[in-house]
Amino acid sequence: MKEMTWVGGANDVDFHKVSYEYDLNSNVLLEDDEVQLGHDIAYTRDQLDRIEEALSGTWSGSAILALTRQEDFGLSHTGGWETYQLDLNGDSNFSGTDELDETRTHSQVDEIVSRDLYSDQSSVLSPQHDAAHNLTDDGENFKYTYDGYSRLLFVDDRATQNPIAEFKYNGLGHRIAERRDNNGDGSLFGEPWTYFAYDENGTLLEVFDNDLAESNIFGASPGQWWEPNGPEQKKPAKPDEGGDPRPWSSPGEYSTVRPPNWGRMTYPPVWVGKDMTGNGVVDTSHFNHTNQDQDVVVVVDSSGDVLESVRYSSAGMPFGLPIGDVNSDGIRDSQDQVDLGNWVRNRDPHSARGDLNLDGVVDSADITILSTLVGTPAVDLELGRGELSSNCNRYGASGLPYDAEIGALYEIGVVYVSSATGEPLNAQADEDDKAGEGAEVTVGLPKPTPAAISRLKKLAKEARERWRKLRKRLKEAREGKGGGKPPTPEGQKEIVGDFLKRNDFGPGGTGPKPPKGPKPPKGPKQGGALEGKEEIVVKNPATGGDITDIDRVRGGTLWEVKTATNAMDHEAWVKKHILEKFKKIKEARKHIKGYENAPIGFEFEGGPLDADFRKAVQEAIDALKAANPAVDIKVDFN
């Protein structure tokens, strides 16, 4: 592909246009960006076609001038970054703020053992890995905990030891839930869960919160057209069938051209809708535009107006560019107003960077739009390096979900790869291919048989139908259809919580389970032999009978998980589900090796509890603590 162009507006304005030059091995040597200022990139490669240097700035036709950024890689035979230099302001010096002049050492399996950030021993980081080669401590910001499949469970702040994020997975390895410390209080207690729904092929369909009050719905992948109000899908015309060889767009209709044999990539959704009230109706939506590598490079709204653009480093680090960022520095501020005013007065050449309404001219109308965006008093919008989006776009380089909050990471299945270091966190990524060339992934789960796949597809279809009926039921209840009073918010949460548990195929759910395959490979345990395990039945070794079950082991604590938010008889509920359950778990832990004195916890994940119900539960917990001073008893009111 020699040129990648996206056009929009009444006059087909090029709001994204990048030209490419290649070497004889078909490796990209130049990305000439004709819209964003200072984001042309010239690459130097070694004899193995690996990137050694990436210079960003303005391409003169023969060289990069007005340098803005520079990356230099010293690669080992296996592709590890033995040295890495990062210049963020184009002064060819690597000692400025957030810049690096780094020397690394690696283990025999290519784990980073040390990072001398300035190659002078003044700041040396010592990352730590477990026996399965998972990164457990990055030596700088975060600590990580995994389950026996090397799937990331918890991320903790390294300085405070407080949790930042928690993740859950189903039996197929899909991440189905997460929660984060949104209020910054150093705890996940009380933080809402966010859930992820997939189709039978593992494609993400929807992200929704704990009580369905808000959800994001993901539309078609590239190679399809998507009509948001249909949805009707059509096969796009190919260039050799009379179709336009360039990707093109107008509001509501999108087509793409997939480059053949471009290596490993995923395909982000073209359309993303947001239901902000939980009534099943899309309130806002945006469209993702990608380049030949399936990097999301432009996001537009349903009217065809550009919301933001993104550019990427050779290792996939995003550089967000909000609409109105006239000088392409990643910040929309008053300086952009000055630059746009000079642009109009000097009648400089046209570019969509200043043509905010895409009418084909840069004029006073664009100045008015920018004044509205910046506001009075001025309200800056800052993206830039490491920031992907301000419009709920979660897809970045190679079409992969991006997570800036926990260390600039890309999700490849259940594998996380850092765009800051080029290294995978967990052990399932192939590390042969570094410096932005992509990471191959082998998920360490048993491969299902054809019969198992068939059954899983059937189960997924049934679950989607039940999910559709649930949404319809809630919508009709809110609208007062069918007679009777609409359910209370607590009643809705109880309905949804019960549905999620019944339709969770994973070990924590009570829904139908996928067929059993071969036993998974054994891996090192985190925080104890049962850390991350769920639904553990404990038997009496003397009689062989069941004592009780442990819902979840997390942080060395034996947790009993409840979804109830209220009960008809508080006293009876507390007696059965708190007091009697505590006795059983206390007895059971005697027979769990390594957990004989483990803390016992009660976790409520169905949503906010009725005030009187919560008071009854807390009184029971206080009574247990008083009667059992030698036992560490915890309660988590989510």
Residues 205-253: tens digit of each pLDDT: 788 876 655 566 666 544 333 333 333 333 333 333 333 222 222 222 2
Residues 532 and 469 in one domain: no
**Residues spanned by the domain of 586:** 527-638
Q: Which of 421-430, 583-592, 625-634 has the lowest mean pLDDT?
A: 421-430
Whether residue 138 is contained in a domain is answered as no
Residue 52: both structure tokens together: 């050694």
The mean pLDDT value for 353-380 works out to 85
Q: What is the mean pLDDT of the chain?
A: 77
Residues 532 and 630 in one domain: yes
Beta-carbon contacts of 86 under 8 Å, excluding residues fewer than 6 positions away, are: 70, 71, 94, 98, 99, 100, 101, 102
Tell me the pLDDT band of 21, cut-offs 50, 70 and 90: very high
User: Domain check: are 501 and 598 in the same one?
Assistant: no
Who wins on pLDDT, 282 or 500? 282
Q: 511, 535, 561: which is the final residue of a domain? A: 511
Give domain status of residue 400, yes or no: no
When divided into structural domains, the chain yields a total of 2
Asked if residue 553 belongs to a domain, the reply is yes
Residues 582, 551 share a domain? yes
Question: Which residues neighbour 139 within 8 Å (Cβ) at sequence distance 6 or greater?
Answer: 115, 125, 126, 127, 128
One domain, residues 545 and 635: yes
Report, as an integer, the average pLDDT of 18-46: 91
Same domain, 609 and 538: yes
Please work out, in degrees rounded to the nearest 5, the angle formed at the alpha carbon of residue 342 by the alpha carbons of 339 and 345: 155
Residues 531 and 635 placed together within one structural domain of the fold:
yes
Specify the pLDDT at position 457. 61
- Domain-embedded: residue 345: no
pLDDT digit string, tens, across residues 86-141: 999 999 899 889 999 999 999 988 889 999 998 899 889 999 999 888 899 999 89
Mean pLDDT of 416-435: 60
| Claim to verify: residue 466 and residue 507 sit in the same structural domain | yes
Same domain, 543 and 622: yes
Confidence of residue 450 (pLDDT cuts 50, 70, 90): low
Residue 505 lies in a domain: yes
**Entry field: residues in the chain:** 638
**Does a structural domain hold residue 264?**
no
Give the largest Cα separation in the chain, rounded: 90
Residue 478: pLDDT over 60: yes
In this predicted structure, the answer to whether residue 182 has a pLDDT above a threshold of 90 is: no
Is 532 found in the same domain as 638?
A: yes
For residue 32, what pLDDT is reported?
Answer: 94
- Of 487, 511, 535, the residue that ends a domain is 511
Q: Are residues 543 and 475 in the same domain?
A: no
CATH of the domain at 629: 3.40.50
User: How many degrees, rounded to 5, is the angle at CA 97 between CA 35 and CA 52?
Assistant: 60
Helix, strand, or coil here: 456? helix
Q: Is this prediction's pTM over 0.85?
A: no
Higher pLDDT, residue 336 or 525: 336
pLDDT tens digits for range 149-165: 888 899 999 999 999 99
Written as six digits, the tokens of 467 are 């999910």
The average pLDDT across 612-630 equals 92
Span 393-409, pLDDT tens digits: 888 888 888 887 776 67
- Does residue 581 share a domain with residue 619? yes
Answer whether residue 622 shows pLDDT above 60.
yes
d(CA 206, CA 199): 10
Whether 344 is in a domain gets the answer no
Tell me the mean pLDDT in the region 66-93: 90
Q: What's the pLDDT band for 601 if we cut at 50, 70, 90?
A: very high
- Report yes or no on 468 lying in a domain: yes
Is the four-CA dihedral 405, 406, 412, 413 of positive or negative sign? negative
* Residue 99 pLDDT: 92
Q: Read off the pLDDT of residues 53-65 as tens digits, 9 standing for 90 and up.
A: 999 999 998 899 8
Among residues 511, 542, 557, the one where a domain terminates is 511
Residues 299/305, Cβ–Cβ less than 8 Å: no
